[in-house]
Structure 1
Amino acid sequence: MSRPWAEGTTGAFKRQVSSFREVVSPTHPIYKPAKNRYWLYVSLACPWAHRTMITRALKGLSSVIGLTVVHWHLDDKGWRMLPAPAEITDDDKKNFHTFHGGIKPTEEDVSHPVGDVKNDSARLWIDSTFDPNNGFERLSELYHKSQPDYSARYTVPVLWDTETKTIVNNESADIIRILNSGVFDEVAGDEATHLDLVPKELEAQIDEFNSWVYDNINNGVYKAGFSESAAVYEKEVTNIFNHLDKVEKILEEKYDVLAGKHGKDNKDKILKEYFTIGHQLTEADVRLYTTIVRFDPVYLQHFKCNFTSIRGGYPFIHLWLQNLYWNYKEFRFTTNFDHCKLHYTRSHTRINPLGITPFGPKPAIIPL
């Protein structure tokens, strides 16, 4: 594959800026909230897309916004989807409106071999789903339908408007704010949870936390993994673990406060308030989770982020991760370790030219 991540000759990673940045709002001249009008195109492997899936699930919007999952293997033409079946059944239609878009999550307590799975595997509802809106088989077709002269990379997630046949937004940070804003609550009816992931009194803290977590951890693993210079890699990987240390300290202090409040043996009550910001689940947890849940299964070996593992070196981050995964189905059912491991190890041929997918860790996530 080419080097879409390299910046000039420095060997440093530079992330592409998203091109489509519209919002959905009752006051928007075009994009107004409606049931079944908007559709998400995601990759289960991609942490940026994963945060939109979690937010959609937490907000109770699965029946309002459908979900198409692209194939885990990213080839030189970009993301692809499987062809639509000759007949779309009622079960197919229901699958698009589950937490996981019809692709069931990997079994939680088992790490099983995937070495015999081929890159061109075409197992519907396992490797990928299809596009029921346009019949497209490439994500690039969505981009060119929206903007015929589009020439940048074709990225996920995509929030698509089925009415105007155009991309509303392809920036994950925007999309999760749109989903959280409450604009879909009325059309979601009784299924809307009315959960606010960015409460006003915590917004400044969430934004500040997100800012350094994004640059140094979410994007940091890519800066380390896609480095094409030893000096750049060593600088970036050190930076990641310095900031993981910072998160660990925040969560350790949070745990101590909660243990003092509820008693150190009252773990259930502690975990109900054990989050990064405040004492409730927020967007900060969602955005950090999608990197941390991939850390031991992928980034540790594939991106050489190997000072230590989360499970072995960060007990408070690890407990926070286990709490979200095991106690919140919206996190667990949108996490697919097979897609994560297969995507990175098979798609990044410069990093892993033999395409061998590691068998471990076993288990992918340790039971709480």
Structure 2
Amino acid sequence: MPEFIKTRITADGRDGYPVEPNRYRLVVARACPWANRTVIVRRLLGLEDVISMGMCGPTHDERSWTFDLDPGGVDPVLRIPRIQEAYFARFPGYEHGITVPAIVDVPTGQVVTNDYAQITLDFSLEWKAFHRDGAPDLYPAALRAEIDEVNELVYKDINSGVYRCGFATSQEVYDKGYDRLFARLDWLTDRLATQRYLVGDTITEADIRLFTTLVRFDSVYHGHFKVNRNKLSELPVLWAYARDLFHTPGFGDTIDFPQIKEHYYKVHTNINPTQIVPQGPDLANWHDPHGREALGGSPFGEGTPPAPPKPAEAVPAGHTA
């Protein structure tokens, strides 16, 4: 039984799941940074009309994420209260993490994949026939080796690095994770001081993977995970870079800060047993000008911005910065 379900949805259907409009449902939670990536990529590429999206609430118990935001606590398409049921439909008694993002085959009700790293790449490569007009190339062939290299470093030291610190049960593990995290953030500062985006002069998969950690840094990771050498807002280059992306359609308008905070502070009772959710920080500064246009580049290259989110998928009023 796999820890991560590596089955892929491909144009040729070689794993038994061909690309097919309106067959699959992407299950996410706004609180989760790994799921947030898939929400952004789906939106940037204009796949909303061919891949539906189910939204879990910000909190869950030890069993799985639940659809408590939906009427009756049941997903209106899958007709289940917990994503766990889609996992069990394919792998009875699935013993590993019941995670989001996950893609479910609607006709069978079975989970297809929860391989978050591959899902977004396949959205770019395998679903190309269904991209919107003007969709950006988030994984350009000429830059893939460099994107992969940057992604690996960011994954090890930053995406996973904040969790390594937050869930550390020894001082030694915490100290090593802390040092790796901030060394990599300093490396990113040097890299981004003279270029607008991580790889090339347009937004790529690399920027999306970094953004979903950076946008949670001050609200959650700095305090909750004890990564407190600096706030993101105290690192001028990275702070401006994160705001640049936040202001870009498809990025900031996917962020629900109240759900993010509720998830981390209420679910991780081993770290925060009182489940008290802090009121701060003030989020108004996310709207400050970033000035990164002076570095050149263009968010979508020869493409265009995505349309506004559909009303049913929009972040509730007052939940963004």
TM-score scaled by length of structure 2: 0.85
CA distance in 2, matches of 1:363, 1:85: 30
Q: 1:144 is aligned with what amino acid?
A: F
- What is the aligned partner in structure 1 of residue 66 from structure 2? 80
Relative to 1, partners in 2 of residues 1:83 and 1:135: Cα closer, same or farther, differing over 3 Å?
farther
Relative to 1, partners in 2 of residues 1:77 and 1:323: Cα closer, same or farther, differing over 3 Å?
same
Matched, 1:355 2:275: yes
Deviation readout 1:60-97 (Å, 9 max, x if unpaired): 111111111111112122211128548xxxxxxxxxxx
Contact 1:145 1:166 in 2 (8 A): yes
Matched, 1:294 2:216: yes
Deviation readout 1:176-219 (Å, 9 max, x if unpaired): 011011x334345xx35432111011101000000010000000
Q: Which runs of 5+ in 1 are unaligned?
A: 1-16, 87-128, 255-273
CA distance in 2, matches of 1:365, 1:285: 21
Q: 2:105 is aligned with what amino acid?
A: D
Matched, 1:315 2:256: no
CA distance in 1, matches of 2:107, 2:246: 35
Residues matched between the structures, number = 286
- What is the aligned partner in structure 2 of residue 153 from structure 1? 97
Q: Which runs of 5+ in 2 are unaligned?
A: 290-321
Q: List aligned pairs for 1:1-368, cutoff 5 A.
A: 18-29=3-14, 30-82=16-68, 85=71, 130-181=74-125, 183-187=126-130, 191-254=132-195, 274-312=196-234, 314-326=235-247, 328-363=248-283, 365-367=285-287, 368=289
Relative to 1, partners in 2 of residues 1:141 and 1:192: Cα closer, same or farther, differing over 3 Å?
farther
CA distance in 2, matches of 1:331, 1:226: 27
Q: 1:150 is aligned with what amino acid?
A: Y
Larger radius of gyration: 1
The sequence identity of aligned pairs, in percent, is 36
Higher relative contact order (CA 8 A, sep 6+): 1
SS of 2:27 mapped into structure 1: strand
Deviation readout 1:276-313 (Å, 9 max, x if unpaired): 1110110000000000000011000000000011111x
Deviation readout 1:128-184 (Å, 9 max, x if unpaired): x74122311111111101111311120111011113332221011110011011x33
CA distance in 1, matches of 2:283, 2:243: 12
- Displacement of 1:237: 0.9
Contact 2:246 2:286 in 1 (8 A): no
Relative to 1, partners in 2 of residues 1:138 and 1:47: Cα closer, same or farther, differing over 3 Å?
same
Q: 1:236 is aligned with what amino acid?
A: G
Structure 1 residue runs of 4 or more that deviate by more than 6 Å after TM superposition? none
- Displacement of 1:46: 0.8
Contact 2:43 2:250 in 1 (8 A): yes
CA distance in 1, matches of 2:70, 2:257: 25
Contact 2:44 2:135 in 1 (8 A): no
- What is the aligned partner in structure 2 of residue 10 from structure 1? none
Q: 2:10 is aligned with what amino acid?
A: S
Contact 1:198 1:282 in 2 (8 A): yes
Q: 2:6 is aligned with what amino acid?
A: R
TM-score scaled by length of structure 1: 0.74
Q: 2:85 is aligned with what amino acid?
A: E
SS of 2:139 mapped into structure 1: coil
CA distance in 2, matches of 1:83, 1:227: 32
Deviation readout 1:337-363 (Å, 9 max, x if unpaired): 011100000000010111111111102
- Displacement of 1:56: 0.3
Contact 2:68 2:81 in 1 (8 A): yes
Name the Cα RMSD after superposition.
1.7
SS of 1:333 mapped into structure 2: helix
Q: 1:275 is aligned with what amino acid?
A: Y
Q: 1:54 is aligned with what amino acid?
A: I
Relative to 1, partners in 2 of residues 1:308 and 1:316: Cα closer, same or farther, differing over 3 Å?
same
Contact 2:60 2:267 in 1 (8 A): yes
